[in-house]
């Protein structure tokens, strides 16, 4: 059965538990985000203290970047594993154990952040260190996500053993690509936390090698964004073409895309350290060159999904060069979200190319441009696809259908408009030099005063996003009470030419893991080894203590 109906019941509670934690954190973080926009604007200047601001930014960042993403991705992975493979999930008790561990981790993070013991933002840049329990909480979440990775890999390999020679369904192939990438990705931050930051936070050591810590974090820092992004791409390839009423233009293109993400998202993190002194220009160059190749899977995707949509549009009677666009069913949330995500991905991707260039990055480094960029590309194109995925699969989890699609469309449009209104002025302010990671601006200064109107426009976008976030949670909540029963229909798109036999390279990850290893050695081998060969001057650990009793 295409929807994997029996199997869904197997993981229904597991998926809903993960999703509700993710979206609960999302709702709280949205409120904090809107408050931060208010405090930074001339309207709310001097509301609250810097200590409260940084505590809020930490909570917002951790909730959005670690809780929303990790829980959503794990829940989505379990859903894909049973629906795409149409088999029960192996080791479900382990999945629940991982869920329990990650809840304990989140609670530890919550207590330390609210206690003011962890106002270090969501990045791990020593010598500033938070309470060790903050880091241990996050390590628990990561360890739980490793359990998820192992379960995803086991689900795929047991399916392959039962179906020799058969191509793994694309949705599952992509999910496992993400799991494999995540295992590689988290090694960097795990080494940083376990061997550098946590001993320092406990007071076991008084000094820390900041260059090494930043390098290890850069290993994780860029690939983690692709970990968050891949569910959106899974929806582009496997759900959007079906929702549009067509077929996927090319299954092979999909497989290639996820493989390219796996190999090129890892050896590129040093483009976050272009302004750092601890690495040579040549090693930075190599990683920037590799970064350029990360744009390839995105370009492949834009081509393939546009072609798939064109097929759907023409099947619905669209004619001419662009006539097919108008005939697409834009009233369906998945189709609408895909269109809006592409618009945001286009603008955000263009901004990303600027961040990637050594010279252009120098102009926008540490300005609001960067904050605007990652809000547009992650908060915009990725999170809007999380919404679309939730709207698509929630009926299958609850057995109920949305009573009306109108509030869903309104919510998606509000998110798109809010994100554009918030981030476009924010980019512009960054170009004018507005710095990031500060608690307030002095609008008495004539130069900064001129930023005021744009910051207020941006605040308007932030408030729109908050309205959209509340509406999103309301829409899901309403679905639990909907009286309309589920209409059974296919979830995953068929390819124009469904794959019959695919080479082992496009059906597994052995070859690609070897190539990732080669690339990581070339990109990070010497840059990390140098810290052992020439120990750098140590920095004193600075521990965050509660700002207020």
Partner 1 sequence: MTEKSDPAVLDQPWRVWASVAVLSIVAAGIVLGILIIPIVQGQSASIDPFTAICRAIGILPGSPARPQITDRTPPTPVSQVVWTPEVLQILAEAHPERGKAKVQEVCISCHGENGVSVAPEFPHLAGQSGAAIYKQLNDYRTGSRTNETMTSIAKSLDESLTADVAAYFAAQPKRDPNPLALAEAPAAIIRLVELGDPSRRIPPCAACHRPGSGGPIETPILSEQQEKYLVAQLKMYASGERRNDVYGRMRAIASQLSESEIEGLAPYYRAGFK
Q: Catalytic residues, which ones? A: 222, 226, 373-375, 436-437
Q: Which two tokens stand for residue 245?
A: 């009423």
Residue number, 353 or 515, with CB nearest to partner 1 = 515
If one asks whether residue 69 binds partner 1 (CB under 8 A), the answer comes out as no
Give the 3-state secondary structure of 412-462: HHHHHHHHHHHHHHHHHHHHCCCECCCCCCCCCCHHHHCCHHHHHHHHHHH
Main-chain phi, psi angles of 332, to 5 degrees: -85, 130
If one asks whether residue 161 binds partner 1 (CB under 8 A), the answer comes out as no
Residue number, 368 or 464, with CB nearest to partner 1 = 368
Please state the closest distance from residue 290 (CB atom) to partner 1, in A.
Answer: 7
Please state the closest distance from residue 15 (CB atom) to partner 1, in A.
Answer: 32
Helices within 239-332 (DSSP H only): 240-243, 251-264, 281-315, 323-327
If one asks whether residue 252 binds partner 1 (CB under 8 A), the answer comes out as no
Residues 362 and 275: beta-carbon distance below 8 Å? yes
Q: Count residues contacting partner 1 (CB under 8 A)?
A: 53
Cα gap 445→352, rounded to integer Å: 31
Considering only CA atoms, which of 379, 333, 344 is closest in space to residue 240? 333
Contacts of 428 (CB under 8 A, 6+ apart): 454
Give the burial class of 448: count Cβ atoms within 10 A of its Cβ; 0-12 exposed, 13-18 middle, 19 or more buried: middle
If one asks whether residue 100 binds partner 1 (CB under 8 A), the answer comes out as no
- Out of 113, 176, 200, 290, the only residue in the binding site for partner 1 (CB under 8 A) is 290
Residue number, 43 or 143, with CB nearest to partner 1 = 43
Residue number, 97 or 447, with CB nearest to partner 1 = 447
If one asks whether residue 285 binds partner 1 (CB under 8 A), the answer comes out as yes
Residue number, 406 or 450, with CB nearest to partner 1 = 450
Binding mask 209-248 for partner 1 (x = CB under 8 A): ----------------------------------------
Stretch of residues binding partner 1 (CB under 8 A), selected from 19-27, 104-112, 288-296, 467-475 = 288-296
- Out of 5, 24, 42, 51, the only residue in the binding site for partner 1 (CB under 8 A) is 51
Please state the closest distance from residue 122 (CB atom) to partner 1, in A.
Answer: 17
- End-to-end CA gap in the chain: 59
Residues 263 and 519: beta-carbon distance below 8 Å? yes
Residue number, 326 or 450, with CB nearest to partner 1 = 450
If one asks whether residue 518 binds partner 1 (CB under 8 A), the answer comes out as yes
Cα gap 184→548, rounded to integer Å: 39
If one asks whether residue 433 binds partner 1 (CB under 8 A), the answer comes out as no
Residue number, 49 or 92, with CB nearest to partner 1 = 49
Contacts of 142 (CB under 8 A, 6+ apart): 70, 186, 189, 190
Stretch of residues binding partner 1 (CB under 8 A), selected from 85-93, 298-306, 487-495, 505-513 = 505-513
- Out of 97, 289, 343, 360, the only residue in the binding site for partner 1 (CB under 8 A) is 289
If one asks whether residue 536 binds partner 1 (CB under 8 A), the answer comes out as no
| Dihedral sign computed on CA atoms, order 428, 409, 397, 301 | negative
If one asks whether residue 276 binds partner 1 (CB under 8 A), the answer comes out as no
If one asks whether residue 358 binds partner 1 (CB under 8 A), the answer comes out as no
- Out of 163, 442, 488, 536, the only residue in the binding site for partner 1 (CB under 8 A) is 442
Reduced to 3 states (helix: H, G, I; strand: E, B; else coil), residue 320 is coil
Contacts of 372 (CB under 8 A, 6+ apart): 351, 422, 423, 424, 426, 427, 429, 430
Residues 382 and 337: beta-carbon distance below 8 Å? no
If one asks whether residue 293 binds partner 1 (CB under 8 A), the answer comes out as yes
If one asks whether residue 478 binds partner 1 (CB under 8 A), the answer comes out as no
If one asks whether residue 207 binds partner 1 (CB under 8 A), the answer comes out as yes
Contacts of 535 (CB under 8 A, 6+ apart): 209
- Out of 286, 302, 456, 473, the only residue in the binding site for partner 1 (CB under 8 A) is 286
CA angle (221 as vertex; 220, 227 as ends), nearest 5: 75
Q: Which two tokens stand for residue 324?
A: 């097919």
Cα gap 303→257, rounded to integer Å: 11
Strand partners, 542: 128
If one asks whether residue 263 binds partner 1 (CB under 8 A), the answer comes out as yes
If one asks whether residue 283 binds partner 1 (CB under 8 A), the answer comes out as yes
If one asks whether residue 9 binds partner 1 (CB under 8 A), the answer comes out as no
Stretch of residues binding partner 1 (CB under 8 A), selected from 217-225, 297-305, 438-446, 455-463 = 438-446
Cα gap 27→15, rounded to integer Å: 18
Residue owning tokens 């949330």: 333
If one asks whether residue 366 binds partner 1 (CB under 8 A), the answer comes out as no
Please state the closest distance from residue 1 (CB atom) to partner 1, in A.
Answer: 26
If one asks whether residue 346 binds partner 1 (CB under 8 A), the answer comes out as no
Residues 90 and 84: beta-carbon distance below 8 Å? no
If one asks whether residue 444 binds partner 1 (CB under 8 A), the answer comes out as yes
How do 128-129 and 542-543 pair as beta strands?
parallel
If one asks whether residue 340 binds partner 1 (CB under 8 A), the answer comes out as no
CA angle (233 as vertex; 378, 395 as ends), nearest 5: 95
| Dihedral sign computed on CA atoms, order 90, 93, 96, 98 | negative
Stretch of residues binding partner 1 (CB under 8 A), selected from 97-105, 307-315, 481-489, 495-503 = 495-503
If one asks whether residue 513 binds partner 1 (CB under 8 A), the answer comes out as no
Give the binding site for partner 1 (CB under 8 A).
46, 49-51, 128, 165, 206-207, 263, 278-286, 289-290, 293, 440-442, 444-445, 500-507, 511-512, 515, 518-519, 522, 526-527, 530, 538, 540, 542-549
């Amino acid at each position: 059965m295409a929807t994997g109906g029996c199997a869904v019941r197997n993981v229904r509670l597991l998926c809903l538990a993960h999703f509700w934690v993710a979206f609960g954190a999302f709702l709280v973080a949205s409120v904090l985000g809107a408050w931060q926009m208010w405090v930074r604007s001339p309207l709310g200047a001097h509301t609250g203290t810097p200590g409260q601001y940084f505590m809020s930014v930490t909570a917002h960042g951790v909730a959005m970047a670690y809780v929303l993403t990790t829980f959503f991705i794990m829940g989505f992975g379990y859903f894909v594993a049973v629906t795409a493979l149409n088999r029960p999930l192996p080791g479900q008790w382990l999945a629940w154990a991982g869920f329990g561990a990650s809840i304990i981790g989140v609670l530890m993070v919550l207590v330390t952040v609210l206690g003011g013991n962890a106002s270090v933002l969501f990045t791990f840049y020593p010598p500033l260190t938070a309470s060790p329990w903050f880091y241990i909480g996050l390590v628990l979440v990561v360890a739980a996500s490793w359990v998820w990775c192992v379960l995803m890999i086991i689900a795929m390999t047991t399916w392959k053993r039962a179906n020799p020679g058969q191509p793994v369904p694309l949705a599952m192939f992509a999910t496992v690509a993400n799991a494999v990438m995540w295992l590689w990705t988290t090694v960097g931050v795990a080494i940083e936390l376990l061997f550098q930051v946590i001993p320092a936070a406990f007071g076991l050591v008084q000094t820390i090698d900041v260059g090494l810590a930043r390098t290890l974090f850069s290993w994780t820092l860029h690939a983690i964004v692709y970990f968050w992004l891949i569910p959106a791409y899974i929806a582009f390839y496997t759900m959007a073409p079906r929702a549009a009423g067509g077929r996927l233009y090319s299954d092979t293109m999909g497989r290639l895309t996820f493989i390219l993400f796996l190999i090129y998202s890892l050896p590129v993190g040093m483009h976050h350290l272009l302004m750092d002194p601890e690495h040579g220009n040549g090693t930075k160059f190599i990683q920037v060159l590799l970064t350029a190749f990360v744009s390839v899977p995105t370009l492949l995707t834009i081509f393939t999904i546009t072609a798939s949509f064109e097929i759907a549009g023409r099947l619905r009677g669209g004619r001419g060069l662009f006539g097919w666009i108008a005939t697409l069913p834009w009233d369906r949330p998945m189709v609408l979200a895909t269109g809006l995500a592409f618009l945001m991905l286009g603008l955000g991707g263009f901004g990303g190319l600027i961040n990637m260039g050594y010279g252009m990055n120098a102009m926008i480094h540490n300005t609001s441009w960067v904050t605007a960029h990652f809000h547009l590309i992650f908060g915009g194109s990725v999170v809007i696809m999380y919404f679309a995925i939730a709207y698509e699969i929630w009926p299958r989890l609850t057995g109920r259908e949305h009573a009306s699609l109108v509030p869903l469309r309104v919510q998606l449009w509000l998110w798109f408009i809010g994100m554009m209104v918030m981030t476009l002025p924010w980019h512009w302010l960054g170009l004018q030099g507005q710095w990031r990671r500060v608690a307030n601006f002095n609008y008495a200064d004539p130069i900064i005063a001129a930023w005021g109107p744009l910051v207020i426009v941006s605040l308007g976008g932030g408030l729109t996003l908050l309205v959209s976030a509340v509406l999103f949670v309301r829409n899901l909540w309403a679905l639990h009470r909907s009286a309309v029963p589920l209409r059974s229909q296919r979830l995953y798109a068929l390819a124009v030419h469904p794959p019959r036999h695919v080479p082992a390279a496009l059906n597994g990850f052995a070859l690609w893991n070897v190539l990732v290893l080669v690339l990581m050695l070339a990109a990070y081998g010497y840059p990390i080894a140098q810290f052992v060969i020439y120990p750098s001057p140590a920095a004193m650990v600075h521990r965050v203590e509660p700002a207020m009793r």
